[in-house]
């Protein structure tokens, strides 16, 4: 009975105490819960604002990316156009180079044909002869002939000076001096030689076409001179250098025929054996 009374007393004490604690606790919990809910709402509001800002930034990036893509498209189109223009220019440049090459080739062929025709006409004696009126140089020569020894000295010294330049390999200067000599002394014992050395100057300068024409003057203008066989031989060698084997063969055969017992004929035979 005592035990029950004690239990009852404790229970009566605990019941009021227990009811007061529960109410306070609930109020505190409610207060805490309300604060947390408010904080949560504020956090959600902040997240919404951040999400909206992020969305706006993304939209702006998308707009900029679209503009960049549009610019790239324009640039690609312009680049393609430039490539097309460049291809066209390259084609036109190639056409121009081809036309220039063809023009040069035809000009060279025309010059070679004209040269061969002129040479053959001169060789056969059907071309026009070089008729020149007596110029100041010839008049000067005639005046000097009256002076006798002085004219002879001037003639020999002028020829010797030109020949010295030739031996030194100064072909352009030597050619000019020999031409000057021929203007002053067109008909002397040195004139045929001077004409031949002019041809030799061109030959050693590898101007073979000009050399052939100068050698022809030796043959036509000084037929009794001692340089005619050499001039004829060098004409053949010049044609050989130009790659005209037919003309070279014809002239070398004439050297052998017209001057059979000369050193020029021996050289001509040797060269004919080399021509295939």
Residue 60 banded pLDDT, cuts 50, 70, 90: confident
Over range 18-34, report the average pLDDT. 60
**170 located within any domain:** yes
In contact, 271 and 233? CB cutoff 8 Å: no
Residue with tokens 């679209």: 66
The pLDDT of residue 198 is 97
User: Which residue would you say has higher pLDDT here, 55 or 178?
Assistant: 178
Share of the chain above pLDDT 70, in %: 62
pTM assigned to the model: 0.49
User: Which residue would you say has higher pLDDT here, 109 or 266?
Assistant: 266
Q: Report the Cα 174 to chain-centroid distance in Å.
A: 35
The pLDDT of residue 151 is 47
**120 located within any domain:** no
**214 located within any domain:** yes
**92 located within any domain:** no
The secondary structure element, H or E, covering residue 220 is: helix 208-221
**121 located within any domain:** no
The pLDDT of residue 29 is 57
**161 located within any domain:** yes
Give CA–CA dist 80/99, Å, rounded.
29
Total count of domains within the chain: 1
In contact, 116 and 244? CB cutoff 8 Å: yes
**101 located within any domain:** no
The pLDDT of residue 263 is 93
The pLDDT of residue 45 is 76
Over range 215-243, report the average pLDDT. 95
The pLDDT of residue 136 is 41
Q: Residue 193 pLDDT > 90, yes or no?
A: yes
- CA proximity to 192, closest of 159, 148, 237: 159
Burial state string for 67-105 with b = 16 or more CB within 10 A and e = fewer than 16: eeeeeeeeeeeeeeeeeeeeeeeeeeeeeeeeeeeeeee
Residues near 158 by beta carbon (within 8 Å), at least 6 away in sequence: 177, 180, 181, 184, 185
Over range 97-121, report the average pLDDT. 61
Q: What's the CATH number where 199 sits?
A: 1.25.40.10
User: Which residue would you say has higher pLDDT here, 219 or 124?
Assistant: 219
**119 located within any domain:** no
Give CA–CA dist 81/83, Å, rounded.
5
Domain that residue 178 falls in: 148-274
């Amino acid at each position: 009975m005592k035990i029950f009374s004690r239990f009852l007393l404790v229970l009566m004490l605990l019941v009021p105490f227990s009811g007061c604690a529960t109410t306070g606790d609930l109020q505190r919990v409610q207060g805490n819960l309300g604060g947390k809910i408010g904080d949560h709402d504020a956090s959600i509001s902040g997240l919404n604002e951040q999400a909206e800002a992020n969305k706006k930034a993304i939209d702006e990036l998308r707009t900029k990316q679209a503009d960049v893509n549009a610019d790239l498209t324009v640039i690609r189109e312009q680049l393609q156009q430039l490539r097309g223009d460049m291809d066209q220019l390259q084609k036109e440049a190639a056409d121009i180079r081809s036309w220039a090459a063809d023009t040069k080739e035809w000009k060279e062929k025309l010059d070679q044909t004209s040269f061969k025709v002129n040479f053959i006409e001169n060789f056969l004696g059907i071309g026009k002869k070089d008729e020149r009126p007596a110029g100041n140089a010839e008049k000067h020569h005639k005046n000097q002939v009256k002076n006798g020894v002085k004219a002879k000295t001037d003639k020999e010294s002028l020829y010797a000076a030109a020949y010295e330049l030739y031996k030194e390999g100064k072909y352009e200067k030597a050619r000019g001096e020999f031409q000057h000599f021929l203007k002053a002394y067109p008909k002397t014992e040195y004139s045929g030689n001077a004409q031949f050395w002019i041809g030799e100057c061109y030959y050693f300068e590898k101007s073979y076409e000009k050399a052939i024409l100068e050698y022809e003057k030796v043959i036509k203008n000084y037929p009794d001179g001692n340089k005619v066989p050499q001039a004829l031989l060098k004409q053949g060698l010049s044609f050989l250098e130009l790659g005209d084997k037919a003309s070279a063969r014809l002239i070398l055969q004439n050297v052998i025929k017209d001057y059979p017992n000369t050193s020029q004929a021996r050289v001509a035979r040797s060269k004919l054996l080399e021509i295939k």
